[in-house]
Amino acid sequence: MTIHISDLSTKSVLAEQDICEDKAHKQTTRLINIARYIEENAEQTLTLATLAHQMNLSPSRFQRLFKQAIGVSPKVYQDAIRMDHFKQSLQQGSDISGAIYAAGYGSISRVYGEATRSMGMTPKAYRAGAEGEQISYATTITSLGPMAMAATKKGVCFVQFGDTQTVLIGQLKDEFPNANITESTAQDTPELNAWINALDQHISANAPRPDIPLDIRGTAFQMKVWQFLLSVRDGTVLSYSELAAAIDKPKAVRAVASACGKNRIGVLIPCHRVLRSDGGMGGYRWGLERKHALLGKEKSSTAPA
């Protein structure tokens, strides 16, 4: 039997590819295990050097690989887990000081800085249903029907569709039952009026989706789903299973669907771009007709001329 050099070269290349793929798989598995370790020890002080040592990597290389695999840095991941634990403690009735230390923050001043970034309000206000928090809203009629947008000082916290303005205001009050909710005036909240007009132009006149500051709040898992959706380009769709795989939670398809259903910032967080694996529309918080219309507009606006 004659063996050609080209055959040996091909086999060598294929063998190297198998080795590389196996190495990459093992590395990803180890990074996932590190993420689980962070979840189980979120209340502890976990330095980048300590975590990197577990993989025999330099801190800088470990951070780069972790972010590539998980989507965020180790610190941001740990902060999200801590915040999730903290919020759960508040919702279960724990006193604020106890929840702070149980979550591993170590000081009241530290958690307030983290909490206001993640929840858009102080821990006390979050526990009390946004008690005392100032939220302004505006309404308009879009091609998808009545729409309400509401915002805190951090950014937009609510975009929803309904049959009437009364229904929309009721939905807003249900989301933030103890907040000080007032209708926007141009004098007091000019940004909100500009934002809702820009979003209406996007929905009704195919203008680009506006880049609006968002006040996103949810569990660590929900935040991960929503943050990924913000990276999905106009005109692109994906399935619930693809979204689950993209955030490295391939078995969490139902949880991903649930996170999409709990999104309270419609269109700006584009959960309408997620479909069933068979190409079916799946669900949509504001009705399948609106989902179909949004996808149709995006497809037409991104189609080549």
Exposed, middle or buried, 260 (CB in 10 Å: 0-12/13-18/19+)? buried
Tell me, yes or no, if 20 is annotated catalytic. Answer: no
Q: How far apart are CA 248 and CA 223, in angstroms?
A: 14
Domains of the chain: 1-128 (1.10.10.60), 134-205 (3.30.160.70), 220-302 (1.10.10.10)
**Which tokens hold the place of 101?**
């230390």
pLDDT of residue 284: 92
What is the structure's pLDDT at 102?
52
Distance CA 29, CA 22 (A): 11
In this predicted structure, what is the pLDDT of residue 85? 64
Among 13-22, 35-44, 52-61, top mean pLDDT goes to: 52-61
The pLDDT of 79-101, averaged and rounded, is 58
Contact 263, 226 (CB under 8 A): yes
* Residue 260 pLDDT grade (very low, low, confident, very high; cuts 50, 70, 90): very high
- Which two three-digit tokens encode residue 77? 């991941």
**Using 50, 70 and 90 to split pLDDT, how confident is the model at 104?**
very low
Range 92-107 average pLDDT: 48
Q: Which tops the pLDDT comparison, 19 or 177?
A: 177
Look at residue 302 in the predicted model and tell me its pLDDT. 62
Task: Calculate the alpha carbon distances from 272 to 33, 38, 209 in Å.
Answer: 32, 32, 14
Q: What is the pLDDT of residue 138?
A: 93
pLDDT tens readout for residues 208-233: 888 888 888 777 788 889 989 988 88
The predicted structure's pLDDT at residue 192: 87
pLDDT above 70 as % of the chain: 73
- Is the pLDDT score of 193 beyond 50? yes
Tokens 């063996």, located at residue: 3
What mean pLDDT, rounded, does the chain reach?
A: 78
Task: State pTM to two decimals.
Answer: 0.58
Structure confidence by residue, pLDDT tens digits, 107-160? 433 433 444 444 444 545 455 555 567 899 999 999 999 999 999 888 899 999
Q: What's residue 220's pLDDT?
A: 78
Listing DSSP states for the chain in one string gives: ----HHHHHHHHHHHHHHHHHHHHHHHHHHHHHHHHHHHHTTTS---HHHHHHTTT--HHHHHHHHHHHHSS-HHHHHHHHHHHHHHHHHHTT--HHHHHHHTT--SHHHHHHHHHHHHSS-HHHHHTTSTT-EEEEEEEEETTEEEEEEE-SSSEEEEEE-SSHHHHHHHHHHHSTTSEEEE--TTT-HHHHHHHHHHHHHHHH-PPPP---B-----HHHHHHHHHHTTSPTT--EEHHHHHHHTT-TT-HHHHHHHHHT--BTTTS-GGGEE-TTS-----TT-HHHHHHHHHHHHHHHS--
Nearest to 99 by CA among 127, 80, 66, 119: 127
Question: What local confidence, expressed as pLDDT, does residue 303 receive?
Answer: 59
**What is residue 129's predicted lDDT score, i.e. its pLDDT?**
53
Query: CA quadruple 151, 218, 276, 35: dihedral positive or negative?
Result: positive
Q: Which pLDDT value is given to residue 207? A: 84
Q: 290: pLDDT confidence band, cut at 50, 70 and 90?
A: very high
How confident is the model over 86-105, as a mean pLDDT? 51
Span 168-186, mean pLDDT?
87
At 22 the pLDDT is 63
Measured over the CA atoms of residue 192, residue 193, residue 198 and residue 202, the dihedral's sign is positive
List 20, 157, 260, 271, catalytic entry: 271
